[in-house]
A and B are shown apart, each in its own frame.
Chain A
């Protein structure tokens, strides 16, 4: 990484004082257990990826936003799908009414995926896709789009969220029961491990657990427990831990209590490293390194005086950077009101750029390391998370995977999260916690000044027409036979479903058709309603 100037001259404070990469004793960044970071030089040599999540309307609408974000200096893409897509329903399904293209982009067939990435070189950009239940289907579509555009799958870089366990615990976008769903996750892990070396097959996500109302400790513990569960599932499927673990990645929330968040990120790295080495026998250093994406806390954003959210987002983003994140999404200030407007999304990206280029925090690795408070907080996070692991291990008779299944089945996760959420709400309600602009400092709200993104009703009609056109133009016989193979392969747990899924989407089977086929074998999941 030599540049014309020496490193010493490249990293100086605003006043010109040269600064070292690391300060303090103990295990250095890049050394086990990676508490201080997964790389020795961190942002000096590897700036975090400014990955802005976007998606609304039709694929063509979202493609325009992608192109704007890339032109504005964004360095990775992140796709938000609409609710019908996330739930594996086509845009012309009864359930989809009123929801097509509203909270993300509508994707029914590989043709939509083609439009979504039109004009973007899939061989050079990295793409994150936030989807879980139908994740293997959407991955198959992405591979087919690349293939039809002349890009081999081994060149594709990106991340599929594909974290189904937290859906039962928090986000609730599940399709099938937990066990066959984990088999699908494992199939994706097996497929990408063999054929897509630059792809992260699972983004083990605490983000949604936190958004659903958990504490920082619960977010940390439940997420890592889910991670261990996937490791156990993949090993049980016959994979070697060091073959797939280097490609597992994480996704955390960054909330408003800055030091608690930094402690959480540091503890996450340390716990993962220790467990992967000591419990799961990983020896490849890359298996031990917890890499993560961070998003600022959507739930912390207020509808009242929304401009104040810009300050909240900046501080939360700072916590993510001080905690050593590998990529970051900053929320737009208007997200408590609507999907992000273009101006608000730009300000959010600019916020990251201010942190990266003006504050100097990226010049030194783990700058809070060695602070008595931060070190204590890191230890405390680890201690409390360990109590949760112990509980789950007990539930699962020594298996974290079984423990997580048990915690889902008996409503333990949702109950814990709901309790934490209500506790917080009552504290805010009682004025024990101040939320600026909501229960204190409430003057100055000006609803007339807001310009919100509106998704018109026409999106739904356009998308339905598009789907009808694709249905008309395809070979129905081929669709039927590829779907029959999906059903047959689904019924045989030892077969990897990805080849059958690739075949089906290549034949222009829709997301909904493939999900229906899988539901016929796996069944559906209905949550017990617990308040």
Chain B
């Protein structure tokens, strides 16, 4: 039995403690906004917050979140109104969109720490998140917009 909080709701699950958090979220809890990309923490598509810190859910055994608070893209804001989500729409960032939950969660950690990051700080913070459609420049613009518009 593993007990933790997901998007503000307490969950108790009878799963193997070694199960990656990713599959617990996606297939046990049906929170499919968090995506499977690589399974080895190499692409960032599965990024979630664990006690506010951006982590790769694919490389996090569920036992590690025992007693902790997990936030997924579904819990970032109640209605898609987080400044980053609004900026992502305004800048028309997503193409295929598959990586964008992870991109937004990664960026949300940055803005929570640094309200006005430089371009260099953005690139450094985001470099572990792959977007194969090549929307990187729009991601940078959206983070800068969210930083400006809050």
Chains A and B are bound partners: no
Chain B residues with a Cβ under 8 A of chain A: none
